[in-house]
């Protein structure tokens, strides 16, 4: 006779990692919002995609700085981590050699912050896609 399962066992069974739990956050990190789109969360995926793309592109158009790997200043390293969170957008920007100018205007400083926040929002989006994939969130 099978033993009754506790509530904790049911929750753990729902959160077991599967292939989607690996694919969704990685794809969502590389292409903002795609982690939700491959799980058929159309509205959330499109909203995240539009938000991250818009913030990142506006930041670059405002001549914001895109940080590269730097072992120097702590704030530069944190900026790099934030920028890297944008995934594919970061790599395209670095390949196209955008975001290298010195910050001379206030709008460029705001642009730099837009780029960092877009990367951080994308990381949160990838974590959300993972939570959906393991059944922790609807």
pLDDT tens-digit series, residues 117-136: 999 999 999 999 999 999 99
Task: Record the pTM.
Answer: 0.85
Q: What is the structure's pLDDT at 122?
A: 98
- The pLDDT confidence band at residue 101, using thresholds 50, 70 and 90, is confident
Q: What is the structure's pLDDT at 70?
A: 80
Residue range 84-105: mean pLDDT, rounded? 90
- Residue 64 CA: distances (Å) to CA of 2, 23, 95, 134: 61, 31, 16, 36
Longest dimension (CA), the chain: 74
CA distance 8 to 1: 20
CA distance 51 to 48: 5
pLDDT of 13 higher than 70: no
Q: What is the structure's pLDDT at 12?
A: 57
CA distance 85 to 1: 50
pLDDT of 3 higher than 90: no
CA distance 115 to 97: 15
Residue range 23-49: mean pLDDT, rounded? 98
Residue 28, class by beta-carbon neighbours within 10 Å (0-12 exposed, 13-18 middle, 19+ buried)?
buried
Q: Angle, to 10 degrees, between the axis of helix 106-133 and the axis of helix 74-84?
A: 50
């Amino acid at each position: 006779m099978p033993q009754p399962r506790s509530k904790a066992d049911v929750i753990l069974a729902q959160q077991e990692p599967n292939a989607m739990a690996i694919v969704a956050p990685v794809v969502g990190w590389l292409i903002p919002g795609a982690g939700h789109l491959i799980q058929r969360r159309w509205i959330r995926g499109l909203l995240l995609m539009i938000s991250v793309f818009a913030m990142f592109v506006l930041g670059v158009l405002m001549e914001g700085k895109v940080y590269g790997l730097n072992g120097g200043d702590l704030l530069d390293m944190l900026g790099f981590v934030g920028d890297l969170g944008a995934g594919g957008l970061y790599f395209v920007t670095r390949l196209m050699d955008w975001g290298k100018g010195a910050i001379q205007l206030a709008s460029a400083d705001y642009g730099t912050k837009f780029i960092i926040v877009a990367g951080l929002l994308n990381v949160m989006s990838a974590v959300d896609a993972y939570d959906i994939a393991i059944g922790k969130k609807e």
